[in-house]
Amino acid sequence: MSKRILLGRKLRSTQAGGHLLPKRVALPVFSSDALSSVAYAPDEIFIMLSFVGVSAYAWSWKIALLVALVMLTVVASYRQTVHAYPSGGGDYEVARVNLGRDAGVTVASALLVDYVMTVAVSISAAVQTGAAAFGFMSGRETAVAAGLVLLLAAVNLRGVRESSWTFAIMTYGFMVAILGMALYGQLRLLFGDLPEAESASYRILDAEGYGGEITTVALVFLLARAFSSGSVALTGIEAVSNGVPAFRKPKSRNAANTLLYLAIIAITMMMSVIVLAREMRLRYVDPLQQHLLVQADGSPLPADHDQHTVLSQIARGVFDNLPAGFYFVIAMTVLVLLLAANTSFNGFPVLGSILARDGFLPRQMASRGDRLAYNNGIVILSVLAIVLIVIFDAEVTRLIQLYIVGVFLSFTLGQLGMTRHWTRLLRTETDPSARRRMMRSRAINAFGLVLTGIVLAVVLVTKFLAGAWIAILAIGAFFLLMQRIRRHYDEVAEELTVEQDDQVLPTRVHAIVAVSQLHKPTMRALAYAKASRPNTLEAVYVDTDPTITARMLEEWDARNIDVPLKVLYSPYREIVKPVVQYARSIRKANPRGVVAVYIPEYVVGRRWEQLLHNQTAFRLKSRLLFNTGVMVISVPYQLRSSELAEERAERLQRSTKAGDVRRGRGAP
């Protein structure tokens, strides 16, 4: 009953279908993850530049343009992918088909890590943004973020199918909020009425190691690190290529156009935020080094000073005469960040189910729960995300260092796979026009490969010691784990292959009934064992107390039970070991026969009653199962309390309302 309250009524398998989306709905549905990065990508650029003071902010728009160039290149490359692989496999399918199994598993490992990071980063960013409008969150970001992850997990475990129009309204609301803020801010700038940001009057001290004159090498390294941090704006772009089957026909063209619209909107939003931040003289430092932010006269800020995000400061300044506009921007930003996190709650379990079907993850990952959700994937994602949030104290800047590695690793391998894909097709294609299209697509993917490879190298060099090594270790751990699981499944499949001698019957069956006392469960087990007609049948009793054993033998004879009772002597009062050793000895004496051990068990109706019964039976079964040629048969005996479980099931069935069966909400 508690499970039904938490998760809701069961759904039929036939209710797992979806519906196709037009471009106007597909754009916001698949872009929430990519667009949400506008809430934290500018922050990371300004944080990196702040290490050498405000003067370095002059590079912010140049770095943003470079990020925009990479985004356009990646989008152009993915436009080729959606045409070549309209089934929606994304980089995993591209790498697996064109580069081999190991490359596919590498991409899958990177994607799994990215899904976890998306939840941790998006939720943390949502909490930090919300703290600007809701003061009660300040100082409690970690607890609030963990609570939001649990909330999203509960919603997804219920299998609540997100409404496409709900996604669309919220994401379009975010676009309107950011672009409207940018337009209103530019108008105020044009009329000379744009206020300064709340941090404009502060000074930024030089960070340790960057004081004084900075060398050219150090400046280049700093700019490269700022660029790699700003490249988080590219996260989520691959969602469109994974979701091609959800588009209306023509699927590939609609998906490709959606990618282009996404890039234009994301770049416009990011550039607008960065330009406004510069014009409003915003100051922003690493949240862990807020001591570098001081008053204009050099005096430290109050100990309880809370540095708001770049987006929050801009919105508060632009809408200083229109508070509703500020709260609208914050609300839409928090919502779209939650949607971005929820995207991973769809992507991680689905990718996990695909990998499970391919044999790289436990097969339970491919099983749907009562509400048609992949429960195991949702729970694992939630646990991993909460662990990251707690370890990194919900600090987006610290989490970002782990984020971008997997993104560009999958980008790079995906583009390499696409390049090989076109090269393979060109070997057999003879139509001149088709060859020209393929060569153009290959050139685009090759350029994307070079550029994303360079960015990946920059990310590894500039962020390795800052935390990227953790992401690399996580990807490597997933890779090794999945390879080991696949190897195990392959070995088991080979071992279980049916051979000719598997159809040969055993020469004889020696049946044993385990007896603890003479009662109804024992008599039922004896009757069932007789009905199976073994070659030999005997009951086995373990002697731990001579007085009780003598009483058992007397009662056995008094009842004229026609099955011989064998007593196993146990000087150390062990019960399980003597039975196991006796079964082994019988099997050893007749290697071509089998030993069938019948174990009476109680069936109870309350969970706590299980702790009071069947413990010895469970241990005995656990030991016997590891012995070749020994079969274990449980013979259940239903106690009266077991009727309670049946009555509960009947009450639940009777409570089904009219129409519930038709809607898939109740038992048929």
Domain CATH code at residue 427 = 1.20.1740.10
79 lies in some domain: yes
4 lies in some domain: no
* Packed helices 375-391 and 101-130: angle between N→C axes, nearest 10 degrees: 60
Spell out a b/e string for 228-253, using b for 16 or more CB atoms within 10 Å of the CB, else e.
Answer: bbbbbbbbbbbbbbbbbebbeeebbe
For 133, 134, 390, the CA distances from 303, given in Å and listed in that order, are 20, 19, 23
**How confident is residue 363, by pLDDT bands cut at 50, 70 and 90?**
confident
Residues 550 and 429 in one domain: no
Cα angle at 163 between 357 and 371, to 5 degrees? 45
Name which residue leads in pLDDT, 613 or 172. 172
Strand partners, 603: 638
CATH classification at residue 516: 3.40.50.620
What are the strands, taking DSSP E only, across 369-502? none
| Window from 171-175, 213-217, 296-300, 408-412 with minimum mean pLDDT | 213-217
What pLDDT sits at residue 308? 84
* Farthest-apart Cα atoms in the chain, separation: 109
Express the helix, strand and coil content of the chain in percent, nearest 5 each. Answer: 70, 5, 25
Please state, rounded to an integer, the average pLDDT across all residues of the chain. Answer: 84
Cα(283)–Cα(277) distance, rounded to whole angstroms? 8
667 lies in some domain: no
**How confident is residue 371, by pLDDT bands cut at 50, 70 and 90?**
low
Q: Is 505 exposed, middle or buried (0-12, 13-18, 19+ CB in 10 A)?
A: exposed
**How confident is residue 9, by pLDDT bands cut at 50, 70 and 90?**
low
**How confident is residue 365, by pLDDT bands cut at 50, 70 and 90?**
confident
pLDDT above 90: residue 44: no
| Window from 47-56, 62-71, 512-521 with minimum mean pLDDT | 47-56
Name which residue leads in pLDDT, 458 or 13. 458
Spell out a b/e string for 27-59, using b for 16 or more CB atoms within 10 Å of the CB, else e.
Answer: bbbbbbbbbbbbbbbbbbbbbbbbbbbeebbeb
| Window from 131-145, 330-344, 447-461, 524-538 with minimum mean pLDDT | 131-145
Residues 304 and 437 in one domain: yes
Residues 255 and 322 in one domain: yes
**Sign of the alpha-carbon dihedral angle for 428, 429, 432, 436:** negative
Q: Which whole number is the average pLDDT over 646-653?
A: 62
Collapsing DSSP to helix, strand or coil, 634 comes out as strand
Residues 480 and 589 in one domain: no
Cα(9)–Cα(159) distance, rounded to whole angstroms? 10
pLDDT above 50: residue 14: no
Residues 420 and 515 in one domain: no
**35 and 338 Cβ atoms separated by less than 8 Å:** no
Rg (CA), the chain: 33
Q: Which whole number is the average pLDDT over 420-429?
A: 91
What pLDDT sits at residue 227? 87
Other residues' Cβ atoms within 10 Å of the Cβ of residue 424: 13
Q: Which residues contact 11 (CB under 8 A, 6 or more apart)?
A: 159, 370, 371, 372, 664, 665
Q: Which domain holds residue 595?
A: 505-662
In the block, tokens 């609030």 appear at: 144
Tokens representing 433 are 């026009």
Answer with the one of 489, 519, 547 that is the final residue of a domain.
489
Spell out a b/e string for 533-557, using b for 16 or more CB atoms within 10 Å of the CB, else e.
Answer: ebeebbbbbbbbeeeebeebeeebe
Residues 511 and 485 in one domain: no
Tokens representing 552 are 């058992």
Q: Which stretch, 306-315, 435-444, 655-664, has highest mean pLDDT?
A: 435-444
pLDDT above 90: residue 40: no
Tokens representing 165 are 């129009």
Residues 468 and 520 in one domain: no
Answer with the one of 443, 461, 489 that is the final residue of a domain.
489
pLDDT above 90: residue 486: yes
Q: Which whole number is the average pLDDT over 230-250?
A: 79
23 lies in some domain: no
| Window from 211-225, 388-402, 497-511, 624-638 with minimum mean pLDDT | 211-225
Name which residue leads in pLDDT, 644 or 656. 644
Please give, one letter per residue, the 3-state secondary structure of 88-154.
CCHHHHHHHHHHCHHHHHHHHHHHHHHHHHHHHHHHHHHHHHHCCCCHHHCCCHHHHHHHHHHHHHH
15 lies in some domain: no
**How confident is residue 571, by pLDDT bands cut at 50, 70 and 90?**
confident
Reported as a single tens digit per residue, the pLDDT across 280-332 is 989 888 777 777 788 877 788 887 777 888 999 999 999 998 899 999 999 99
Tokens representing 105 are 């598993």
Q: Which whole number is the average pLDDT over 488-509?
A: 82
Residues 655 and 540 in one domain: yes
Within 13 Å of residue 374, how many CA atoms lie on the same side as its CB?
25
Q: Which whole number is the average pLDDT over 513-524?
A: 92
Name which residue leads in pLDDT, 546 or 662. 546
What pLDDT sits at residue 88? 66
**239 and 84 Cβ atoms separated by less than 8 Å:** no
**502 and 587 Cβ atoms separated by less than 8 Å:** no
For 126, 160, 371, 383, 513, the CA distances from 146, given in Å and listed in that order, are 12, 20, 24, 10, 52
C-alpha torsion angle, residues 178, 183, 185, 188 (rounded to 10): -160
* DSSP 8-state secondary structure symbol assigned to residue 9: S
Collapsing DSSP to helix, strand or coil, 426 comes out as helix
Tokens representing 516 are 């603890």
388 lies in some domain: yes
pLDDT above 80: residue 214: no
Write out the H or E segment, with its range, that includes residue 416. Answer: helix 396-426
What pLDDT sits at residue 549? 92
In the block, tokens 């309350």 appear at: 606
pLDDT above 50: residue 658: no
Give the type of residue at 352.
Answer: G
**568 and 547 Cβ atoms separated by less than 8 Å:** no
Cα angle at 234 between 242 and 335, to 5 degrees? 80
pLDDT above 70: residue 595: yes
pLDDT above 50: residue 661: no
**194 and 185 Cβ atoms separated by less than 8 Å:** yes
Residues 91 and 129 in one domain: yes
Other residues' Cβ atoms within 10 Å of the Cβ of residue 627: 15
**How confident is residue 366, by pLDDT bands cut at 50, 70 and 90?**
confident
| Window from 96-110, 173-187, 252-266, 633-647 with minimum mean pLDDT | 633-647
Q: Which whole number is the average pLDDT over 503-529?
A: 90
Q: Is 14 exposed, middle or buried (0-12, 13-18, 19+ CB in 10 A)?
A: exposed
Name which residue leads in pLDDT, 124 or 235. 124
Answer with the one of 426, 459, 489 that is the final residue of a domain.
489
**How confident is residue 435, by pLDDT bands cut at 50, 70 and 90?**
very high
What pLDDT sits at residue 307? 81
Quick one: what percent of the chain has pLDDT higher than 90?
35
Instruction: Read off the pTM.
Output: 0.78
Q: Which residues contact 601 (CB under 8 A, 6 or more apart)?
A: 521, 613, 614, 617, 634, 635, 636, 637
9 lies in some domain: no
Cα(94)–Cα(415) distance, rounded to whole angstroms? 9
Give the type of residue at 295.
Answer: Q
Residues 237 and 160 in one domain: yes
Number of domains the chain contains:
2
Q: Which residues contact 307 (CB under 8 A, 6 or more apart)?
A: 199, 284, 285, 287, 290, 293
Cα(93)–Cα(127) distance, rounded to whole angstroms? 35
17 lies in some domain: no
**How confident is residue 89, by pLDDT bands cut at 50, 70 and 90?**
low
**How confident is residue 665, by pLDDT bands cut at 50, 70 and 90?**
very low
Q: Which residues contact 333 (CB under 8 A, 6 or more apart)?
A: 36, 39, 126, 129, 174, 177, 178, 311
pLDDT above 50: residue 1: no
pLDDT above 80: residue 2: no
Residues 312 and 454 in one domain: yes
Residues 469 and 532 in one domain: no
Give the type of residue at 585.
Answer: S
Give the type of residue at 637.
Answer: Y
